[in-house]
Structure 1
């Protein structure tokens, strides 16, 4: 991991071309950006985030060097998404909330915005937003940060002929060898929907396919990414359906893993942050958003997490970009969910998953 970070250097990427932001465009955008915000004069910022290695990297590359160095004290509210979302939904009744920055995935950001939890962000106060690839600037209430896709991760020593598609995971020869995580329940329902009808917007068909998977393959279900990664490393399972970035992390940690991009096209996922409507320190939140998109910070995060950065000018080496990015064909095949549809169904999906799949 350290070696990857040490190799970082600026270079245009395939994604610069794919998303319409080449090296010249990125440089031009940088030249036209407004001045950087003045150093903040202290204050406290409450950041709601996942825990574990995700938060550790956020602290290491963003919060300590770029936010706390300005005299801003950060207090963390850590937990899984359902619990953190529920807290903010309850705070809608309050005149003043308790959270300033909400780390969240793009789909849940849409849900939280439509439910009057998140508000639009003043991107004029986020200069680094000018470097974000244009096609990712599609939510006025969401700071795009890191993205990946749901792929097939397998032990190359034990699986010489891995499944090349989501559909091949349903073969009984993989019984007891496939691992899933509760954290990706909505992605798995989308996967089932894709297999059932060619789109990711038929949740009922998706659920039926997951019941079929449970009956034929009996996948092992793990609470979180870390537990699934450990199961792959110890040989408890040989195959996982998870983010490409997670598979690369686990391989970098020494597990004998390889990545298979599914023939149907990987389901895309993007992470970022939002501004709660009742945030007590919204001005400091904008300082935080700008730090998230810092070119060097994003390079460090990409080298440590293997997620592709939303900032097209992130200072990555060609080798690292080749590793974490998708080929042009793969990028074109990514399945971006219909988040309006997801928002209407995610609560019911989670309840169904807990009652039907995890038991």
Structure 2
């Protein structure tokens, strides 16, 4: 990819901040991160029930919300159990979506915050009494679909009316999961510690002086391994059956000498980067540093580095055995709405999946993915990761702890 094809990030960033007059201040278990919680922020250190009434919500999603009578669906105040991914993903649902859904459909939303693997664990452990709604990443949808745990949203278009407005590329595995947010898993650098922005994963790994390594238990760990395997073998990142031993050898020779530590949480990783304790987070989730961008911190996401940018897409899914199918589908429908996605883009700095929704201007300046630029990103082979993660984890430990 040429420089002309990549966003002019620094120029647009500085121009936007100047014209907008912005001011301000500046552990996981299982395959977290994009496969759950690294993609959500927070530490993901367990499933913590969080009631909407706890005060974590607030906000009305913007604009006037129809009442249950006006929406045509009134669920009589019944409780809907929703499992949210962690960090700002959870926050944006509580602030921008749940109050709207509760009022519009006369529902009481009870939430639990858990990374994708924890959501799937609970779904598997309680097949006859599952959560009503899941908010996992696509890698979780892939596994749950293979296990036949999910209900196709396309079977309920009388309720999920917004599904027809979602780009086909964001409707996954027979519509058993549909994305409402898009972004990129990418390196993030401290710009004060780099002479220029790197343009490739190879450059990031070999030229960093002090890298904070992604934990392998986060999905970024397997993603980084497969990226190294793609570089070492010259094959596409999304290829099936990449030679991971070649990837491990590449990491040991090129990345390991520059690793200062392994980050253990989103907040600590961001603090280390901002303070200059490290110059690079080898892979991170773009929207996690949107707040730092808004405050003009010396950080930059290395969007779409060669040989491929890594796709991230948070989704909504409904277990097939829920007793509250219609209410669950109503919640899914609101995830896909223009109103929620535009509010989400403003809060998270992320891209949208509804054809009629617009990416927030500040998010555009940040470099948020659009449906068009998303085509330049790639997903790895999710099933390959699920089937081999345990063995790879042991090998990763041998490489980076030795």
Same fold (TM over 0.5): yes
> Normalising by structure 1, what TM-score?
0.79
Contact 1:265-1:330 at 8 Å conserved across structures: no
Identify the residue that residue 194 of structure 1 maps to in structure 2: 230
Contact 2:209-2:279 at 8 Å conserved across structures: no
Q: Structure 2 regions of 5+ residues with no counterpart?
A: 1-15, 21-69
Bigger drift between 312-321 and 323-332 goes to: 323-332
Bigger drift between 187-196 and 289-298 goes to: 187-196
Is 1:126 aligned to 2:160, yes or no? yes
Shift of 1:350: 5.0
Count of residues in Structure 1 that have an aligned counterpart in Structure 2: 324
Is 1:300 aligned to 2:337, yes or no? no
Q: Structure 1 regions of 5+ residues with no counterpart?
A: 8-34
Identify the residue that residue 133 of structure 2 maps to in structure 1: 101
CA distance in 2, matches of 1:211, 1:273: 37
CA distance in 1, matches of 2:322, 2:398: 35
Tell me the SS of whatever aligns to 1:242: strand
1:9-20 equivalences under 5 Å are: none
Contact 2:211-2:279 at 8 Å conserved across structures: yes
1:61-140 equivalences under 5 Å are: 61-92=96-127, 96-121=128-153, 122-124=155-157, 125-139=159-173, 140=175
Contact 2:150-2:319 at 8 Å conserved across structures: yes
> Normalising by structure 2, what TM-score?
0.71
Contact 2:293-2:366 at 8 Å conserved across structures: no
Larger proportion of helix: 1
Contact 2:346-2:362 at 8 Å conserved across structures: no
CA distance in 2, matches of 1:212, 1:113: 38
Identify the residue that residue 232 of structure 1 maps to in structure 2: 273
Shift of 1:242: 1.6
- By relative contact order (CA 8 Å, sep 6+), the higher-ranking structure is 1
Tell me the SS of whatever aligns to 2:221: helix
CA distance in 2, matches of 1:213, 1:185: 16
Shift of 1:53: 2.6
Over 3 Å counting, the alpha-carbon distance change for 1:64 and 1:336 in structure 2 is same
CA distance in 2, matches of 1:327, 1:285: 27
Shift of 1:276: 1.6
Let me know the Cα RMSD of the aligned residues: 3.0
Contact 2:101-2:107 at 8 Å conserved across structures: no
Contact 1:152-1:259 at 8 Å conserved across structures: yes
Tell me the SS of whatever aligns to 2:228: helix
Identify the residue that residue 88 of structure 2 maps to in structure 1: 53
Shift of 1:306: 1.3
Shift of 1:286: 0.3
Contact 2:200-2:307 at 8 Å conserved across structures: yes
Identify the residue that residue 269 of structure 1 maps to in structure 2: 312
Identify the residue that residue 353 of structure 2 maps to in structure 1: 310
